[in-house]
Amino acid sequence: MTNPRQLAFIALRDVHKGAYADVALDRVLQKVNLPDNDRRLVTELIYGSVRRQRTLDTLIDQFAKKKSHQQPQDLRTILHLGFYQLRYQERIPASAAVNTTVQLAKENGFSGLTGFVNGLLRQYLRRAGGAGGAGEENIPSYLYTDPLQLPENPVERLGILHSFPDWIIQVWLEQLDFEETEQLCEWMNQSPTIDLRINPLRTSIEEVEAALQSVGILVKRIPHLPQALRFIGNTGSIQKLPGFKEGWWTIQDSSAQLVSHLLDPQPGEVIIDVCAAPGGKTTHIAELMADKGKIWACDRTSSRLRKLQENSQRLNLQSIQMYTGDSRQFNQFQNTADRVLLDAPCSGLGTMHRHADARWRQTPESVRELSVLQKELLTHTSTFVKPGGVLVYATCTLHPAENEEVISAFLAESPDWQIESPAGFELPEFVCSTPQGWFKVWPHEQDMDGFFIVRLRKTNNSE
């Protein structure tokens, strides 16, 4: 079976049963050999339908007699696919979107409801085109009226239009104005870009640019990040690109690259990365230290550490040693590290464009639980740092409960620690250091993942 829409339907059925979107996608793509454009369509339909779920449900609520949650789950999934194509896929003609969705209903046990599916989608098209008649091809924008009805309440309005739960919109509106929150929502709904980090111990940025150009792959540099390149356009299989097997580069978002620069590790030091897997920042630290010194890479999941091992072997790095276990239980590292990186487990609200289903998996409760874990990790792993040493706390979330509040609570209890502005690395101007001294990367302003980073120093007189 190689019908992209049927494959997307099968994967989405798995997602609604609890599978992660990327795992469900991999599962269906592994079973078939699809041409690239069909693979891209399957990927787009799955991630798009998951991402836009709230908006698509609202359309079902508005156009059908039964609300979306009262529809049979498989039928709801089929309608999501139809509405997603009509609303968000400009390259797919409206008639193709309607006909293929009707076909999906027929082939998946809803042949008695094909009239209902056809009618619902055509009603949407009629509403979009005013008096445009039955299902014209894509309507010119000046004739288009949005069929989606939105409430006045700003939280619900943004939540329904951009498909986020209200609580996430609320968290952003507490930090940004309405317009900026909307820009952030739009940014989070884009397809993610892919950045790479060159390995300066094996190659140069010029050499990687030339190697990629020789096979027709375009990249651009990212200001202030000396090892970063961003892919422009499609890359095909990453592992097959020149320089990957040779360990010339690895994939890492530019925001994540900032973190190790702020840590500013030096050759010969002892560094502990307390939540290391899958190892993007650990290998970056090794590169910045010229692979001289010792890095303890700790993580509680040995399978995730294996990924780090593979990566450090490919990049030909020798200074990393793995340590499996929960960093909150380690006592052997007290006062041993020149620098500690705590890249804390977090809700990932800064990287939701990469994880289509993250917005539906996280809840205010899960954020509360994470902030407790983050505080415990910070309190315990700060004891690993020698007097005079540095700890960098980083997350890829934009939730104050996991960021500012964690640091404020720690500093209130730890008189021998203070926030320090980074020396040695010229920070990009956009990394707005706040008056308190922590750094926030806002995706809609910087066009990279949302991050929070703070650099702390332990005073010399602490014992």
The Cα 69–Cα 161 span in angstroms is: 18
Q: Annotated catalytic sites, by residue?
A: 396
Tell me which architecture the domain covering 195-251 has in CATH: 2-Layer Sandwich (3.30)
- Say what the pTM is: 0.91
Burial class (CB in 10 A: 0-12, 13-18, 19+), 223: exposed
| Domain residue limits, the chain | 4-141+155-163, 195-251, 254-458
Pairing of strands 195-198, 249-251: antiparallel
Q: Which CATH superfamily is domain 4-141+155-163 in?
A: NusB-like (1.10.940.10)
Same topology between domain 4-141+155-163 and domain 254-458: no
The Cα 463–Cα 453 span in angstroms is: 25
Tell me which architecture the domain covering 254-458 has in CATH: 3-Layer(aba) Sandwich (3.40)
For residues 342 and 313, the answer to whether their CB atoms sit within 8 Å is: no
Quick check: bond before 242 cis, omega within 30?
no
| One pLDDT digit (tens) per residue for the chain, 463 residues | 789 999 999 999 999 999 999 999 999 999 999 998 899 999 999 999 999 999 999 999 999 999 999 999 999 999 999 999 999 998 999 999 999 999 999 999 999 999 999 999 999 999 988 433 334 455 566 667 899 999 999 999 999 999 999 999 999 999 999 999 999 999 999 989 999 999 999 999 999 999 999 999 999 999 889 999 999 988 888 999 999 999 999 999 999 999 999 999 999 999 999 999 889 999 999 999 999 999 999 999 888 899 999 999 999 999 999 998 888 888 888 989 999 999 999 999 999 999 999 999 999 999 999 999 999 999 999 999 999 999 999 999 999 999 999 999 999 999 999 998 765 556 665 555 666 788 899 999 999 999 999 999 998 765 4
